[in-house]
Amino acid sequence: MNPAPKRAGSWRHFLEQHWSSMVAADFFTVELTRGWGIQRVHVLVMMHLATRRIHIAGIVDEPTQAWLVQISRNETDEDHGFLKEGSYLIHDRAAVIGEKLKQTLAASGVTTVKLPARSPNLNALMERVIRSIREECLDRFVIFSKGQLEYLLREYVIHYYEERLHQGLGNRLIAGEQGQSQGKIRRRTRLGGLLSFYHRVSG
């Protein structure tokens, strides 16, 4: 009897099998307002899909393969690297993601998974978090420098972790204390009141 034909699993099946060990990565651009005009920079963000934790891996004028290789070394560090929890890194088809990067990640046990062309739905969580970063934070500011951009992103990530409820996690926080069910309602803010979080306090 001939062997059964090889059947490729669906993307949904792949996600279900490897969900807890998958990290998504993508770039988005931000325009800085300079005295001489507009400067565009690229932000590399990563997300651990199972926990929804996000990490700003770097900001650069123009990403190169050499820069990405160095980022990959940083993020696979056994003590502090964001990719130490991931076995698979899913990414789009950007030309800057080359063989040297894949080899560097493979040496640390991380397999890269390239998404098909024009398929943002296959990286929907990453697309959504980039939209949230833009709409809830960056689009509300005129940004003049990388230092200011780093500050805004740092404050947003703290808000995203500790103060923002996530429907995909059952309306829970990623980190930080869950709110009490009784007590007076208090408002906490970041970035001059742009980001708000309401919680209850006893007494």
**CATH code of residue 63:** 3.30.420.10
| Whether residues 88 and 184 fall in one domain | no
pLDDT, tens only, 71-125: 999 999 888 889 876 689 999 888 888 899 999 999 999 999 988 887 777 788 8
H-type alpha helices, the chain: 11-18, 65-75, 99-107, 124-136, 146-162
Which domain covers residue 115, as residue numbers?
A: 11-162
Three-state SS string over 156-183 comes to HHHHHHHCCCEHHHCCECCCCCCCCCCC
Judge if pTM exceeds 0.85. Answer: no
The pLDDT value recorded for residue 35 is: 85
Backbone angles phi, psi at 53, to 5 degrees: -65, 140
Three-state SS at 97 = coil
- Residue showing tokens 């959504």: 128
Q: Are residues 190 and 102 in the same domain?
A: no
Kindly state whether residue 79 falls inside one of the protein's structural domains: yes
Task: Please check the confidence at residue 33 and state whether its pLDDT lies above 60.
Answer: yes
Q: Which residue has the higher pLDDT, 147 or 203?
A: 147
Residues 59 and 156 occupy one common structural domain? yes
In this structure, the answer to whether residues 85 and 149 fall within a common structural domain is: yes
Give the pair of three-digit tokens for residue 189: 């803010």
DSSP 42: E
| Residue 202 and residue 149 share a domain | no
Residue 198 shares a structural domain with residue 152:
no
Whether residue 118 lies inside any domain: the answer is yes
What is the rounded average pLDDT for all residues in the chain? 84
Q: Are residues 45 and 74 in the same domain?
A: yes
Mean pLDDT to the nearest integer, 176-194: 70
Please give the pLDDT value at position 171: 67
Q: What are phi and psi of 199, to 5 degrees?
A: -145, 165
Query: What's the chain's Rg over C-alpha atoms?
Result: 19
